[in-house]
């Protein structure tokens, strides 16, 4: 799972920067204030209007926009007599804070969380008696009075927000996300030296802010003609997409091609609709990915299609085949186990830093182990205090942590700018696949344990564990900009807390004043998933379900395939298929395969005929292509749609 030298950016970014004094508290004040101001933008564009999911982009568009603003005003600060311009380290701290804090506002974090807390109360009925199970949840996890959630969905008659009922749950959830995020951060601190310094992984998504900052000099990136060519190409493409959407029905608003299901019969019908998506952000940032990984992604997706055709040919025509997400969670498990085994010495070094003869005082390994133990222990106690069975809490937490570590590794190595590049729904679903439902519901007469487990389905459905990628990217960015690891770690933890609190506030305000069902979404994103989870508790208690042999077989196949790939790569140097690419293809492969096929083809041609020099010269064009899409489609068009409405709302931009 090593990266290709071709994916490494300019050599200047590999050198450790000179010692720079970083004003941490100034960066913190800027980040906290920016998060609050950005909250108004997010509330209007995502919650009230649903014009554009700006927090779902990778990196989040609010963070990129703020980075641009800071870089634009920085030259002005240099001209003021009593002010010192922001250093690269200070800008990096603000940027990483905002990537995490604004992601907490996202549809699959805060809206999914609020839906998980409220849907069981509001949608409960005689046919769907969810109130019977959700009323058992502790009051420090969620308010219990049905009127609180009736006002949440329909609007408060008096316009008053019942903050007194929400402050304790808000504090509890902020603490939970700090514990979970701290556990993942601890793991990232343990792996940071090996991934960043020894393996020299590409960290493609770190290159965008680095290129933009140019070590504090905005001219280096924004004076590039290649960057502006890519930037304007993205603007032109988005303008075309928006124009086609505005013209009315029959005109596609996005650039993608699909072969419909009605065109073919079996076995070819097993692979249609066959879609190719042209996502500028995936193409632009995907250019930084090694050709080995980009080839592995699209080729693995083609293998899945051949799998479907073969199964259909022999008469196997089951819904969901070839069970890609099940293969994906198996692939994630095997990659995680390989990483833990290969890097086991890191844990030994961290243990010796605490208890060995030569104890280290200021070691990321040392404090990483501390954060990992504290975070894992804290989440375990949180879940058991809420009512989850200890064995179930330990099993689920282990899966969530493993998924977070592998996703971070995938982002560090491939840079896939997609929060959904993990087998969503499977971290919890794989437990039901292997154990069935009886061990989960049968051991809890009050159904409290399975209800808490159903509530935390949000960790399986949402992209909470993907925060690990922003954390390891933050540690990498700190090393290249002059910030210390302590400053970055502190910033990450504060971002988790402040992002949670601010996201709660900016969501509850429009829900109670306007009513969630009266907003553009017609409810809260994740309502259906929450209702299905709670009804699953009731139905599984009445009719236990056995293990799922079909899903078990697919999971074991995914794990075995990764094990085989790893063994072949160990024995035969240069074998082109990368296990990480296979795992990514198992997670939203239908969306990413087309862009990665395009960048693989372009990058192969450029490296073949122009070499590394041509690659480095062309890189700003592709970064500009991604940046242009973020600005044109996300910031500009998303803002027009959120504020003016009308024809602007005919083109809704999604980054997931």
Instruction: Print the domain residue range for 236.
Output: 5-650
pLDDT value for 14:
37
Distance CA 562, CA 410 (A): 14
Element housing 607 (H / E): helix 589-629
pLDDT value for 16:
44
CA distances, 494 to each of 50, 316, 489, 499, 647 (Å)? 28, 51, 9, 8, 40
pLDDT value for 359:
58
Q: Structural domain tally of the chain?
A: 1
The full DSSP string for 58-116 is SS-HHHHHHHHHHHHHHHHHHHSTT--PPPHHHHHHHHHHHHHHHHTTSIIIIIHHHHH
What are the residues facing 52 on neighbouring strands? 653
Beta strand residue intervals within 486-613, DSSP E: none
Among residues 622, 636, 603, which one has the least CA distance to residue 282?
A: 622
Q: Look at residue 655 and tell me if it is in a domain.
A: no
Give average pLDDT by consecutive 10-residue segment, the chain, 656 residues. 39 42 88 96 89 87 93 82 82 96 94 94 89 91 89 89 94 97 96 89 88 65 89 90 72 56 56 71 87 90 82 71 89 95 86 70 82 96 96 96 95 86 91 94 82 94 90 94 92 97 96 88 85 93 91 95 93 88 86 88 93 89 91 84 76 72
Torsion angles phi and psi, residue 52, rounded to 5: -160, 130
Contact yes or no for 623/644 (Cβ under 8 A):
no
What are the residues facing 277 on neighbouring strands? 256
Q: Look at residue 656 and tell me if it is in a domain.
A: no
Calculate helix-pair angle for 24-42, 61-79, nearest 10 degrees.
Answer: 130
DSSP 360: -
Distance CA 104, CA 500 (A): 6
Q: Look at residue 437 and tell me if it is in a domain.
A: yes
pLDDT value for 258:
63
Among residues 136, 119, 111, 205, which one has the least CA distance to residue 461?
A: 111
Q: Is 49 exposed, middle or buried (0-12, 13-18, 19+ CB in 10 A)?
A: buried
Q: Is 546 exposed, middle or buried (0-12, 13-18, 19+ CB in 10 A)?
A: exposed
Task: Tell me which residue has tokens 């280096």.
Answer: 220
Q: β-strand 256-259 against 274-277: which pairing, if any?
A: antiparallel
């Amino acid at each position: 799972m090593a990266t290709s030298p071709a994916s490494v950016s300019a050599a200047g970014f590999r050198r450790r920067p000179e010692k720079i004094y970083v004003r941490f508290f100034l960066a913190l004040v800027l980040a906290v204030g920016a998060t609050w101001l950005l909250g108004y933008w997010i509330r209007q564009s995502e919650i009230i209007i649903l014009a554009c999911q700006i927090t779902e982009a990778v990196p989040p568009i609010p963070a990129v926009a703020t980075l641009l603003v800071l870089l634009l005003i920085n030259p002005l600060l240099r001209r003021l007599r009593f002010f010192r311009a922001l250093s690269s380290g200070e800008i990096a701290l603000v940027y990483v804070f905002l990537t995490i804090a604004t992601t907490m506002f996202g549809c699959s974090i805060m809206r999914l969380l609020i839906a998980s807390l409220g849907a069981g109360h509001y949608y409960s009925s005689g046919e769907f008696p969810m109130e019977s199970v959700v009323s058992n949840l502790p009051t420090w996890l969620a308010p219990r009075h049905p009127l609180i959630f009736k006002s949440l969905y329909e609007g408060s008659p008096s316009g008053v927000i019942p903050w007194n009922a929400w402050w304790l749950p808000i504090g509890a959830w902020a603490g939970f996300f700090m514990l979970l995020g701290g556990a993942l951060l601890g793991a990232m601190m343990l792996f940071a030296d090996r991934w960043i310094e020894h393996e020299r992984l590409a960290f493609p998504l770190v290159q965008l802010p680095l290129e933009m900052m140019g070590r504090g000099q905005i001219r280096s990136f924004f004076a590039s003609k290649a960057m502006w060519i890519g930037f304007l190409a993205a603007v032109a493409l988005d303008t075309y997409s928006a124009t086609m959407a505005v013209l009315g029905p029959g005109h596609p608003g996005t650039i993608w091609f699909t072969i419909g299901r009605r065109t073919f019969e079996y076995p070819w019908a097993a692979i249609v609709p066959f879609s190719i998506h042209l996502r500028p952000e995936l193409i632009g940032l995907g250019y930084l990915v090694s050709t080995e990984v980009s080839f592995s992604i699209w080729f693995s997706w083609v293998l899945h299609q051949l799998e479907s055709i073969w199964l259909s040919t022999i008469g196997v025509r089951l819904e969901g085949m070839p069970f890609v997400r099940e293969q994906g969670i198996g692939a994630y498990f095997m990659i995680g186990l390989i990483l833990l085994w290969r890097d086991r010495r890191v844990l030994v070094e961290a243990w010796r830093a605490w208890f060995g003869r030569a104890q280290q005082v200021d070691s990321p390994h040392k404090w990483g182990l501390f954060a990992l133990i504290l975070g894992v222990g804290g989440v375990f106690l949180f879940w058991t205090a809420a009512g989850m069975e200890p064995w179930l809490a330990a099993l689920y937490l282990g899966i969530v942590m493993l998924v977070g570590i592998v996703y971070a590794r995938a982002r560090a190595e491939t840079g896939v700018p997609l929060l959904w590049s993990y087998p969503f729904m499977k971290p919890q679903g794989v437990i039901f696949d292997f154990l069935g439902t009886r061990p989960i519901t049968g051991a809890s007469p009050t159904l409290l344990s399975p209800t808490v487990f159903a509530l935390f389905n949000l960790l399986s459905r949402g992209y909470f564990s993907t925060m690990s990628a922003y954390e390891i990217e933050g540690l990498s960015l700190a090393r290249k900009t002059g910030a210390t690891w302590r400053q970055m770690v502190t910033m990450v933890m504060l971002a988790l807390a402040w992002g949670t609190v601010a996201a709660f506030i900016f969501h509850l305000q429009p829900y109670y004043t306007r009513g969630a069902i009266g907003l553009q979404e017609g409810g809260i994103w994740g309502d259906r998933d929450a209702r299905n989870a709670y009804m699953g508790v009731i139905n599984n208690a009445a009719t236990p379900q056995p293990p799922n042999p079909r899903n078990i077989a697919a999971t074991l196949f995914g794990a075995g395939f990764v094990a085989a790939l790893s063994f072949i790569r160990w024995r035969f140097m240069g074998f082109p298929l990368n296990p990480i690419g296979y795992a990514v293809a198992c997670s939203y492969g239908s969306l990413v395969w087309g862009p990665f096929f395009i960048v693989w083809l372009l990058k192969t041609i450029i490296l073949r005929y122009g070499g590394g020099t041509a690659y480095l010269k062309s890189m700003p064009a592709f970064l500009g292509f991604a940046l242009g899409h973020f600005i044109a489609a996300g910031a500009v068009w998303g803002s027009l749609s959120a504020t003016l409405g009308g024809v602007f709302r005919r083109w809704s931009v999604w980054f997931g």
